[in-house]
């Protein structure tokens, strides 16, 4: 897609980045000790921490990924919102206060508080690193997606900018700076998402959402024995036809330009699709022409609106509930994606969809036979919902935020502030996603840009601010993840596991060096994973966290017989099974350039297998190593604390 | 290496009671959440039925789960604060 670059947008963006850097410089002067670097010395107010929680959590996955997923696949994207928020219930009710009581700087500290075990230090630091890196990938991908329309730069440049700025932030100031960046960003994201939602409701549904509709053609096909053999339009000549997933795609030539069409299932018409072809010399052709010809359109339109049984052109302003009723009685065009490998072509074809289907599950996650569900697709749905529910309270970069407040009560109160802020935002995602689906703003190349491009539709000023906030979102979340990762390497592994006996200054230096290394690694991964939906990628991070960390935390808190070896075995099992199954999943096979159907594991979300396996391993190994429990250095168990 | 908290914490005699309340509330929410997933799997069409006003069950249940999490958070905080005030105060009185 080609975007016009706005000077205003660039200036606002630069202002945000400079402001974030200035804040980091300011707090850098105060960061002298390890307690300050890793945990802001435990002095943050619960309200600030609660909104900073929201800032951490409402990452690129939430604003960019969920809005994009709702825009392209309707209610199924909102399932991520429901699951992500439900995860906070587990964090509040099970984890917040005990974790605050047990830990010092990192999640590993809390797990190891009862045992002082080398195996826990090693496995928990590995787990923190693996989960954080899985979470980092989508943030970096999102950053790259953002700079394309905002600054007109290539995707990889965005990834490098974010990586460099964040390495600078983390390497200078640590947790205090990260907290205030997250606080400001979290608050701004919620405020401006509310403003965007008000715009959407005030605008209502319309058949002509402004600007020119895409100039896509409809041509009558000549069909013989069910096969397309030609077209009735003299301008075009038939070139080739392909059957993919029971659908017919036809390549036509006109004036030396090749365009792609899909045969309508109801009649013998060919509807023009959007296509991207990689020519033999590497040139990218958009709808058969170079990018500069601007023949690659933004899409997503309502085609029919019924109000009280009467067809209308627009609804006028709608309320927060009437918008769903209006949409339920409408028809719209979504775009679905297929690849024709023989032609090196990706096609996005028109998929007429009822508004009713958009506000019900099933367009993306196949859960009913009506949508082609089978046993594995249903299990994939359960697996995703399970991982989202249990994953939040096992994310190391979220858990370390409990060490930044002064008391257990503050840990609890900050979690409640977070639930209210995050919950409110997730309700807004439904409106922003649907708004993007119906206002002709979708970029089929990147579902992640639905939210910012919707803002652009309502004005460049709003787009600039929303994009800058989204960019700051990525900056803040990546900063938090890198702090967690550097803590795992420098504090858990070097200082505690290898017992390097570093003084406070060396600990901070080691943390900064670790932050630098993880940052560089994140930049490389962000470039490699370009094009994937960031919320989907974060869902995978949740699966890994829920599998490797959640059983360890909960059993440590609620089962007296838990042993150090049980925890270590559980973490290793959780990491290896979840990461292993993800690498064998259909989505990853597509990434390797192989057919998704050839993937040995038929699901994308492994939690339904890896979480129970991790639990079983913890219980079995703990029961086998009960004599180790006599070596506990200090009993922090809840049952003893009353 | 000692792993104690970064900030010095007071002894909390209500920790066990709060943990039990948290576990109960977690299980209640988990069941309601599981109900949502179960309907999605067993009878997806049910989610498209109108339940309140002209809103379908999918919207009402989905938004409801988010709002319920907020409400349960406040309820949990209310009772936890009460436990802390009563139990930690009793401890101070005994001293």
Question: What is the ipTM score, two decimals?
Answer: 0.88
Domains in chain A (CATH in brackets) are 7-204+377-641 (1.20.1730.10)
Give the C-alpha separation, A69 to B93, whole Å: 57
Instruction: Look up residue A314 and give its DSSP letter.
Output: B
Q: What is the mean pLDDT of residues A511-524?
A: 83
Containing H/E element for A334?
strand A330-340
Q: What is the least distance, in Å, from the CA of B48 to any CA of chain A?
A: 6
B86: contact with A, CB 8 A cutoff: no
| Cβ atoms A586, A599 nearer than 8 A | yes
**What is residue A639's predicted lDDT score, i.e. its pLDDT?**
43
Give the C-alpha separation, A336 to A343, whole Å: 18
**What is residue A56's predicted lDDT score, i.e. its pLDDT?**
80
Q: Which residues contact A547 (CB under 8 A, 6 or more apart)?
A: A387, A573, A574, A575, A577, A578, A606, A607, A610, A611, A613, A614
Radius of gyration of chain A (CA): 26
CB spacing of B59 vs A79 below 8 angstroms: no
Adjacent-strand bridge partners of A347: A275, A338
pLDDT at A246 over 90: no
Model confidence over A315-361: pLDDT tens digits? Answer: 999 999 999 999 999 999 999 888 888 888 999 999 999 999 999 98
> Which of A115, A383, A408 to probe by mutation at the B interface, max B CB count within 10 Å?
A408
Identify which of A462, A480, A416 has the alpha carbon closest to the alpha carbon of residue A191.
Answer: A462
Query: In A, which residues are within 8 Å of B71 by CB distance?
Result: none
A401: contact with B, CB 8 A cutoff: no
Model confidence over A446-505: pLDDT tens digits? Answer: 777 888 888 888 888 888 888 888 777 777 778 777 877 877 787 777 877 777 777 777
**Per mean pLDDT, which range of A188-197, A323-332, A467-476, B77-86 is the poorest?**
A467-476
**What is residue A81's predicted lDDT score, i.e. its pLDDT?**
93
Adjacent-strand bridge partners of A340: A345
Query: In A, which residues are within 8 Å of B12 by CB distance?
Result: 97, 101, 408, 641
User: What is the Cα A109 distance to its own chain's centre?
Assistant: 28
Please give the model's pTM, rounded to 2 decimal places: 0.85
In this complex, the residue of A116, A367, A642 whose CB is nearest that of residue B15 is A642
Give the C-alpha separation, B10 to B13, whole Å: 9
pLDDT at A167 over 60: yes
Residue bearing the bigger pLDDT, B80 or A102: B80
CB spacing of A88 vs B69 below 8 angstroms: yes
Query: In B, which residues are within 8 Å of A370 by CB distance?
Result: 44
Share of chain A above pLDDT 70, in %: 91
Give domain limits for chain B: 15-85
- Three-class DSSP category at A114: coil
Share of chain A above pLDDT 90, in %: 28
CB spacing of A426 vs B66 below 8 angstroms: yes
Model confidence over B4-45: pLDDT tens digits? Answer: 455 555 677 888 899 899 999 999 999 999 999 999 888 888
pLDDT at A200 over 70: yes
B78: contact with A, CB 8 A cutoff: no
Model confidence over A351-394: pLDDT tens digits? Answer: 999 999 999 988 887 777 776 788 888 899 899 899 989 998 88
Query: In A, which residues are within 8 Å of B74 by CB distance?
Result: 416
Query: In A, which residues are within 8 Å of B77 by CB distance?
Result: 412-413, 416
**Number of Cβ pairs < 8 A linking chain A and chain B:** 178
B55: contact with A, CB 8 A cutoff: yes
B15: contact with A, CB 8 A cutoff: yes
Q: What is the mean pLDDT of residues A407-416?
A: 88
Confidence of residue B3 (pLDDT cuts 50, 70, 90): very low
Give the C-alpha separation, A564 to A562, whole Å: 7
**What is residue A42's predicted lDDT score, i.e. its pLDDT?**
62
CB spacing of B3 vs A321 below 8 angstroms: no
Give the C-alpha separation, A343 to A222, whole Å: 22
Give the C-alpha separation, A402 to A39, whole Å: 8
**Per mean pLDDT, which range of A305-319, A457-471, A625-639, B50-64 is the poorest?**
A625-639
Residue bearing the bigger pLDDT, A109 or B56: B56
For chain A, the average pLDDT equals 83
In this complex, the residue of B9, B13, B33 whose CB is nearest that of residue A86 is B33
pLDDT at B79 over 90: yes
Confidence of residue A641 (pLDDT cuts 50, 70, 90): very low
Model confidence over A273-312: pLDDT tens digits? Answer: 999 998 888 888 998 888 778 778 888 889 899 888 889 9
Q: What is the mean pLDDT of residues A100-112?
A: 75
């Amino acid at each position: 897609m080609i975007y016009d670059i706005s000077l205003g947008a660039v200036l606002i963006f630069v202002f945000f980045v400079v402001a974030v850097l200035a804040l980091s410089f300011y707090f850098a002067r105060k960061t002298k000790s390890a307690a300050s670097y890793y945990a802001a010395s435990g002095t943050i107010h619960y309200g600030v921490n609660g909104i900073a929680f929201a800032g951490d959590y409402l990452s690129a996955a939430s604003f960019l990924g969920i809005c994009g997923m709702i825009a392209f696949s309707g209610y199924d994207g909102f399932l991520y919102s429901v699951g992500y928020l439900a995860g906070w219930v587990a964090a509040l009710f099970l984890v917040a206060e005990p974790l605050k009581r047990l830990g010092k700087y990192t999640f590993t500290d809390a797990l190891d508080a009862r045992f002082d075990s080398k195996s826990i230090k090693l496995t928990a630091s590995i787990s923190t690193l693996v989960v954080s890196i899985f979470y980092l990938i989508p943030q970096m991908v999102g950053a790259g997606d953002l700079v394309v329309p905002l600054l007109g730069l290539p995707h990889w440049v965005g990834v490098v900018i974010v990586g460099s700025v964040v390495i600078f932030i983390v390497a200078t100031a640590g947790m205090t700076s990260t907290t205030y960046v997250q606080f400001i960003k979290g608050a701004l994201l919620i405020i401006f998402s509310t403003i965007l939602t008000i715009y959407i409701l005030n605008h209502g549904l319309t058949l002509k959402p402004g600007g020119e509709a895409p100039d896509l053609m409809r041509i009558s096909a000549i069909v013989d024995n069910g096969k397309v053999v030609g077209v009735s339009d003299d301008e075009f000549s038939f070139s080739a036809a392909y059957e993919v997933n029971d659908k017919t795609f036809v390549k036509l030539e006109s004036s030396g330009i090749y365009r792609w069409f899909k045969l309508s299932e109801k009649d013998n018409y060919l509807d023009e699709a959007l296509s991207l072809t990689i020519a033999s010399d590497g040139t990218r052709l958009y709808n058969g022409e170079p990018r500069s010809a601007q023949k690659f359109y933004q899409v997503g339109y309502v085609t029919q609106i019924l109000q009280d049984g009467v067809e209308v052109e627009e609804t006028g302003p709608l309320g927060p509930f009437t918008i769903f009723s209006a949409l339920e009685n409408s028809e719209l065009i979504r775009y679905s994606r297929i690849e024709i490998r023989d032609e090196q072509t990706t096609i996005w074809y028109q998929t007429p969809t009822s508004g009713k289907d958009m506000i019900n599950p099933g367009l993306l996650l196949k859960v009913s036979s009506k949508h082609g569900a089978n046993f594995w697709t249903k299990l994939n749905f359960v697996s995703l919902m399970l991982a989202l529910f249990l994953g939040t309270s096992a994310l190391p970069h979220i858990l370390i935020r409990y060490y930044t407040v002064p008391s257990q009560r503050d840990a609890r109160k900050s979690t409640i502030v977070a639930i209210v802020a995050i919950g409110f935002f997730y309700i807004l995602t439904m409106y922003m996603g649907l708004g993007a689906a119906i206002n002709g703003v979708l970029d089929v190349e990147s579902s992640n840009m639905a939210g910012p491009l919707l803002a652009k539709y309502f004005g460049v000023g709003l787009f600039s601010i929303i994009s800058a906030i989204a960019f700051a979102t990525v900056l803040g979340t990546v900063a938090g993840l890198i702090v967690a990762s550097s803590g795992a390497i420098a504090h858990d592994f070097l200082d505690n596991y290898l017992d390097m006996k570093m003084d406070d200054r060396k600990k901070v230096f080691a943390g900064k060096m670790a932050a630098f290394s993880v940052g560089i690694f994140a930049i490389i991964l962000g470039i490699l994973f370009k094009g994937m939906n960031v919320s989907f990628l974060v869902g995978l991070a949740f699966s890994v966290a829920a599998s490797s960390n959640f059983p360890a935390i909960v059993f440590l808190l609620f089962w007296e017989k838990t042993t150090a070896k049980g925890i270590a075995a559980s973490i290793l099992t959780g990491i290896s099974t979840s990461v292993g199954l993800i690498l064998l999943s259909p989505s990853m096979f597509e990434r390797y350039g192989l057919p998704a159907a050839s993937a040995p594991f038929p699901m994308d979300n492994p939690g339904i297998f890896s979480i129970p396996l991790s639990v079983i391993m913890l219980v079995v190994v703990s029961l086998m190593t009960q004599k180790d429990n006599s070596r506990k250095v200090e009993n922090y168990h809840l049952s003893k604390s009353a | 290496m000692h792993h104690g908290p970064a900030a010095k914490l007071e002894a909390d005699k209500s920790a066990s009671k709060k943990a039990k309340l948290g576990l109960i509330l977690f299980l209640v929410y988990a069941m309601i959440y599981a109900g949502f997933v179960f309907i999605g799997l067993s009878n997806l069409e049910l989610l498209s039925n109108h339940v309140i006003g002209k809103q379908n069950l999918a919207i009402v249940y989905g938004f409801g789960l988010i709002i319920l999490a907020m409400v349960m958070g406040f309820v949990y905080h209310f009772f936890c604060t009460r436990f802390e005030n009563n139990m930690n105060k009793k401890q101070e009185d005994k001293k």
